[in-house]
Amino acid sequence: MNDPKQIVREGYNKLSTAYRAHYNFSHTQQYPIWLHEFLVDIPRGSRILELGCADGIPVAKHVSKHYQYLGIDISPVQIELARHHVADARFEVADMTELSFPTSTFSGIIALYSMIHVPLQQQPALIASMHEWLQENSYVLAIVGAGTWTGTEDDWLIPGTTMYWSHTNSDTYIKWFSSVGFTIVETKFIPEGTVGHTLLIAKKNK
């Protein structure tokens, strides 16, 4: 297998606006509901980090209205689109596993369907970093795996685009988040076709 992160980067670069065209309805219907649940206890004006922001719709557009938002994505093409769609928000091209922030920088972290593009063996360390970057009594909203699978799909969304995923099951994600000091606030199965993912909200207590 080629470098997984390069597959993800090139895949989202190639998809460009086709990613939004495919997911626009489902994202604009579901994401605001999840964001409302996540943001309800986070004071306005707080710093929010999104890992895997894609083109900024709808999360950056929604969150940046009332929060200090930073969106990270591995795809330069998606970041360029995000800067066009949400001019007042801040975006950076980066590998989420290589980020470095001071302790207690953020009041919330969002990672919707993005951690599962990271090789599985790197995900526990990423979760530990998220715990470190968060302030006390702050939250993570993530969509992670419901079952265990690692692999690629050819012709994903458009012909010629290959995409990589790597995820474990929901019980293991709960264990990983809990082991670094998160309290699990909510989990929910999110169906997608014949399979699905796990929505997880976790709180850093200390």
Q: Which residues pair with 150 in a beta bridge?
A: 166
Do residues 76 and 58 lie in contact, with contact meaning Cβ atoms separated by under 8 Å? no
Q: Which residues 6+ apart lie within 8 Å of 9 measured at CB?
A: 74, 75
What pLDDT score was predicted for residue 90?
98
Q: Which residues 6+ apart lie within 8 Å of 195 measured at CB?
A: 146, 147
Q: What are the tens digits of pLDDT across the range 57-99?
A: 999 999 999 999 999 999 999 999 999 999 999 999 999 999 9
- Distance, in Å, from the CA atom of 192 to the CA atom of 23, rounded to the nearest integer, reads 12
What pLDDT score was predicted for residue 206?
77
Residue with tokens 């264990």: 175
Closest CA to 14 of 164, 165, 118, 156: 156
What pLDDT score was predicted for residue 1?
53
Average pLDDT over residues 13-40: 93
- Distance, in Å, from the CA atom of 118 to the CA atom of 72, rounded to the nearest integer, reads 14
Q: What are the tens digits of pLDDT across the range 104-161?
A: 999 999 999 999 999 999 999 999 999 999 999 999 999 999 999 999 999 999 999 9
pLDDT above 60 for 7: yes
What pLDDT score was predicted for residue 26?
85
